Amino acid sequence: MEKAELRRMFSAQPDQFYNVQVLRNMGFERRQCPKCKGWFWSMGKETCGDTNCEGAYRFIGGRDLGWDFLQAVEKWEKFFEKHKHKVVEPYPIVAKWRPDLFFVIASIADFQPWVLKGIAEPPANPLVVSQPCLRFNDLDNVGRTGRHLTQFFMGGQHAFNLRDYWMNETLGFGARFLMEELKIPQEELTYKEDVWAGGGNFGPCIEAFAHGLEIVNHVFMQFEDTPDGNYKPMDMRVVDTGWGLERVAWYASAKPNTYEAIFPNVAKLRRDLKLEVDWEGQAKFWREIGLYDVSEGAHMPEWVRKELDRMQPLMGLYTILDHTRALAFALADGAIPSNVGGGYNLRNLLRRSFTINRKHKFGLSVADLIKEHAKYMGKRFKNLRELPDVDDIVKLEEQRYDETRTNGRKLVLNLLETGKLKSKLVELYESHGMDPETVAQLATEKGQKVEVPEDFYIKLKEKGKGGDKETVEVDRHLPETEPLFHKIPVSEEFEALVTWSQGKELVLDQSNFYPTSGGQDHDTGMLTWGKEGKAKVVKVSKEGKAILHRLDKEAPAVGTRVKGRVDVVRRMDLARHHTAVHVVNGAAVKVLGSHIWQAGANKTTERARLDITHYKAVTPAEMREIEKVANQVVLENHKVRKMEMNRTAAEQKFGFRIYQGGAVPGAKLNIIHIPGHDAEACGGTHVDYTGEIGLIKLAGASRIQDGVVRLELIAGMRSLEKMWKLEDTLNDAAVEAKTEPQDLAKAVRKLTIRVKSLTKGGGAGTEGIKLQGKVGDVQWGVVDMPFKLMENSAQRILKDTGNKAVVLVNREGGVVAVSTGEISALKLAQQICAKLGGDAGGNEKLARGGGREPDKAEQVLGKLF
């Protein structure tokens, strides 16, 4: 149903949908707003109280309770803790447990889908959580409306299916916080009725306003859409109340805007950057700027427009502060800037920050700002205490930004000339990574003005860019199979019943055959039945909850009892590689930093690959370090602990790093725990002790996409085979070079020199030497040949050409001069070597020398002669 339709339906039956006795008891009455026609509750206020109907943020300049942001968070948490709620630790901002989201966009996302589906238990009930969230749909408004942010805290006040906790309880606790803690006079409070809908669920909601600011939205998720276009009550009704914690802090401080209220370093930065503002004189502007939300496209009076232009640098500072705080949270949780998915949004935040920083000549260190946020926020939000190498990440990103600008500049200038720039802003952003602010700045440098639409990012979002993950579900409704591979040893024969069969495929009621899944290849083996029946299992896959076996011949009929045996050697090869992937992943985190997450993995009998999130290439030295740490874990022979745990318990015990393989469905998780090293939710098969893995050899590392490095690794006997292969190659090469393997490098170097001398003609004489010039009686050239061959060549040239002197300089800066004696070879050589930063020795006929700056050779010789 459409929201407008729902709104009509709900407000027509207020007793059913907005049954708020608690407000009535306090003396509130239901009214209709003369301005927006919405229904609301108040103690006498005539309008609904939202920013537009109220006409301004009227609390600005009022009473300052003296709270900074973290104190506001603490007051809010303490209040609810005192009143029956458990304060749970915030979830990471990077939504690793969600198959459909990169970043948490609301506190309820913490509990979707598992808790809301009734599959997993909530960590407490009722609960509150100060949840960091990240949204990119309001980018155009950030820094200017006084209230918009990309990264914000939603104070989630949640109750899941509690009989005695619904509208009255929710609003009751909320009103007490607003009045007792935030000191809002009761007659200034208004409660506006609305509807909330999202993800196929909907329900009534009630927003609380004070002095033109919405502080909290009480959402009551209660209905779900049905496929026939109708709706029904949800099995689990949820209180999904979201407090704007920045707004709590803002209201409490009565500052001119939220940025002044929540960023502790903002006043100092303003002073340092000489962005002094006349708050008194501009009071009207700051109180009313909130009316001009870009997405609503309200007409802006001339005086506001002017003031807005004048405030650009200050608003730029606010924007950078917002963006760097968002980056602090995202980087701390392991997200990194890249050109795909959520990484794309982060790169955009960085680039916008660089652009604004340069445009207003702030000279701020973006990396330092990120670290400052982390330091302050880290007092309450533990994740922020461990940041990756922010300096390195920002430096690299700024280099890439500069490259993009350099490459894009030409394109922009062309488009400027043809007048097509404005229509290409989206393309420049999406295909060339140039944010519109950068484009506009390039245009300004050329003395032209390009208007960036104020709602650029909103439009972009509507177009569908911005990246949600994709989920694919396949289900042929085959009968369910009970997996045995986590229960019985691989070598054990098992019995099972055929529950589905078609051609060469069958499904069993239970099976020890591991199907291809989680990046691990399937098992193979044998099935036998009756007296004669026998078939090889050649392929095993998963469909829904069924394990589908493919045989090398016709499958037995449904109802047949079969015996199964898994190929142990193959399974162990797979298990070794799989456990090795976990070990290497843990080692990579230790060596490269906490931003390392598994981005993908694949395990076969031959080798495994592990894709990790990393913002640059992995060096050979880092590879060795990872190998070393990994093989130490092997040698320490840890028990690989395999346990089934409740989802919430596992998250609380091991943290969200368990979601290395992405979101895992279900109430229970298989946890693979290598104590002190790594813990992951993983459905694969593993060895029992790390010692069984054998040698782990990294066979290669390559950047497969922006922000992702692929590590190839080999374990067990396969790594021995790999070493043998290398040894064979080395031996063969040594035989060819007529030397011993340990002398191979030396022999090859000799051969190279010889080959070069042959092709360049150095050994034989003058063929192949390119002589650049001849001035008077001196012939000269810069050559590509070893020093010891140069004298010979020079003599040959001297003889062949009949000149009086020949000077050769090679690429390493070696200088040889030969002469018939009429011109001094020594003087020639000395002259040249001096210019190349070196020295020469010899006599009138032959001199040798060298210089430290061989690159200058051509220039020097060209000038001399």
**Which residues lie near Zn ion (CB under 5 A)?**
33, 35-36, 48, 53, 682, 684
Min. distance of Cβ 107 from Zn ion in angstroms? 26
Of 39 and 196, nearer to Zn ion (C-beta) is 39
Residue 824 CB contacts under 8 Å (≥ 6 apart), including other chains = 844
Min. distance of Cβ 693 from Zn ion in angstroms? 13
How many CA within 13 A on the CB side of residue 392? Answer: 12
Min. distance of Cβ 514 from Zn ion in angstroms? 12
Min. distance of Cβ 230 from Zn ion in angstroms? 31
Q: How far is it, in rounded angstroms, from Cα 501 to Cα 504?
A: 8
How many CA within 13 A on the CB side of residue 550? Answer: 9
Min. distance of Cβ 611 from Zn ion in angstroms? 13
Of 458 and 682, nearer to Zn ion (C-beta) is 682
Of 36 and 846, nearer to Zn ion (C-beta) is 36
Min. distance of Cβ 247 from Zn ion in angstroms? 18
Of 143 and 684, nearer to Zn ion (C-beta) is 684
72 contacts 245 by C-beta, under 8 angstroms = yes
Phi and psi of 37, rounded to 5°?
Answer: 70, 10
CA distances from 77 to 13, 147, 215 (A): 34, 22, 15
Min. distance of Cβ 710 from Zn ion in angstroms? 16
Of 416 and 664, nearer to Zn ion (C-beta) is 664
The pair of structure tokens assigned to 496 is: 């099972």
Of 249 and 581, nearer to Zn ion (C-beta) is 581
Of 33 and 698, nearer to Zn ion (C-beta) is 33
Q: How far is it, in rounded angstroms, from Cα 60 to Cα 64?
A: 9
Q: Which of 368, 259, 364, 373 is nearest to 319 (CA)?
A: 259
The pair of structure tokens assigned to 77 is: 């948490």
Min. distance of Cβ 648 from Zn ion in angstroms? 21
Of 320 and 584, nearer to Zn ion (C-beta) is 584
Of 48 and 252, nearer to Zn ion (C-beta) is 48
> What residues pair up with 731 in beta bridges, in sequence order?
none
Of 67 and 209, nearer to Zn ion (C-beta) is 209
Q: What is the DSSP letter of 300?
A: -
Q: How far is it, in rounded angstroms, from Cα 203 to Cα 277?
A: 44
Q: How far is it, in rounded angstroms, from Cα 677 to Cα 626?
A: 13
Min. distance of Cβ 691 from Zn ion in angstroms? 18
635 contacts 628 by C-beta, under 8 angstroms = no
Min. distance of Cβ 680 from Zn ion in angstroms? 6
CA angle in degrees (0–180, nearest 5) for 222-228-229 = 60
Of 53 and 443, nearer to Zn ion (C-beta) is 53
Q: How far is it, in rounded angstroms, from Cα 514 to Cα 496?
A: 15
Min. distance of Cβ 567 from Zn ion in angstroms? 20
Of 90 and 519, nearer to Zn ion (C-beta) is 519
The pair of structure tokens assigned to 190 is: 């208004």
CA distances from 7 to 24, 28, 42, 49 (A): 21, 21, 19, 18
Min. distance of Cβ 4 from Zn ion in angstroms? 16
Q: How far is it, in rounded angstroms, from Cα 199 to Cα 137?
A: 17
Q: How far is it, in rounded angstroms, from Cα 630 to Cα 624?
A: 10
Of 644 and 822, nearer to Zn ion (C-beta) is 644
Min. distance of Cβ 681 from Zn ion in angstroms? 8
Min. distance of Cβ 659 from Zn ion in angstroms? 11
The bridge status of strand 805-810 relative to strand 778-783 is parallel
Residue 752, burial from CB neighbour count under 10 angstroms (0-12, 13-18, 19+): exposed
* DSSP codes joined into one string, 773-795: EEETTEEEEEE-S-HHHHHHHHH
Of 38 and 707, nearer to Zn ion (C-beta) is 38
Cis preceding-peptide flag for 483 (omega within 30 of 0): no
The 10 Å CB-count burial string (b at 16+, else e) for 582-621 is bbbbbbbbbbbbbbbbbbebbbebebbbbbbbbbeebeee
Beta strands, E only, 272-339: none
